[in-house]
Amino acid sequence: MKVVVADKCGFCLGVRRAISLAEQTLEENGGFYSFGPIIHNADVVEKLAKKGLETVDSIDEIESGRILIRSHGATRKQINEIKDRGLDITDATCVLVKRVQNIANELESDGYQVVIVGDHGHPEVQAIRGSTDYAIVVDGIEELSKIRYNKKLGVICQTTQSPQHFGNMVSAIMQHGFGEIKVVNTLCGEAIKRQESAAELCRDVDVMFVLGGKHSANTKKLAELCKKYNNNTFHLQNKDELDEKMVSGMSVAGVTAGASTPDWVIREFVEELEKL
């Protein structure tokens, strides 16, 4: 089977930096804690756990030591709690996420009602919201009724949303008659390049594979996008989920991967696929 890998796929800059910071800290200081899984990829979390990076869901679970803030960032309240407990911090918040937090803060200080277009449950969105006092999160057009009409709005976006969704939401907000709307494009260029490169590849292949954790928001978005352009799209975690039936009667397969999928998962998958 001929296999074509998307030009841009796999680890983004923010994830690479978080992992290398974690590895460096493990080497220098020994075992420590990660506040939530370092990335949404079970293989990487397991690998780092063996080296001493223990994932905790709550700061209360830690009496002393060091804690990693992952690339999604943390809320002001969480950072204060960490400091109050006297824990050391390894801050792996992606610079692009930090930028969005700062923008949200500045907009709020300037009197704007901050509106974040994003997934309610995503840790990055919660961290951006939690770096302000009053920001509102809206996922879809049906949620726009949450915004009060007398406000001037500062609209920003979760870094990994698609430009199409952000554009649709901004357009819908514009039609609601607010007096002043300031839109700041906070989409991540890395995520957009992955989406564009995957969409392009989808058109030229018989079957498309999107590799990455089932909880990874950007991988899920990538899989939804690929499905639009190629109905034979499969979202798999790794080579173990590959089934020969998926490629039966097909000759060209495309492969892309979310920003939290390591190179070795992609490599192993491609090798397995090429054997079919």
Q: Which residues bind ligand SF4 (CB under 6 A)?
A: 12-15, 71, 94, 96-97, 159-160, 188, 190-191, 259
Closer of 192 and 250 to ligand SF4 (Cβ): 192
Least CB distance to ligand SF4 at residue 93 (A): 9
Residue 122 near residue 158, CB atoms below 8 Å: yes
Scan for tokens 């002043």, then name that residue: 180
Closer of 153 and 217 to ligand SF4 (Cβ): 217
Residue 212 near residue 192, CB atoms below 8 Å: no
Residue 138 near residue 117, CB atoms below 8 Å: yes
Q: How far apart are CA 45 and CA 54, in angstroms?
A: 9
Question: Furthest-apart CA pair in the chain: how many Å?
Answer: 62
Least CB distance to ligand SF4 at residue 218 (A): 6
Tokens representing 97 are: 């996420």
Least CB distance to ligand SF4 at residue 94 (A): 3
Closer of 71 and 162 to ligand SF4 (Cβ): 71
Closer of 221 and 235 to ligand SF4 (Cβ): 221
Instruction: Indicate which residues carry an active-site annotation.
Output: 124
DSSP, residue by residue, 143-182: GGGGS-TTS-EEEEE-TTS-HHHHHHHHHHHHTT--S-EE
Nearest Cα residue to 10 out of 235, 274, 273, 256: 256
Least CB distance to ligand SF4 at residue 207 (A): 26
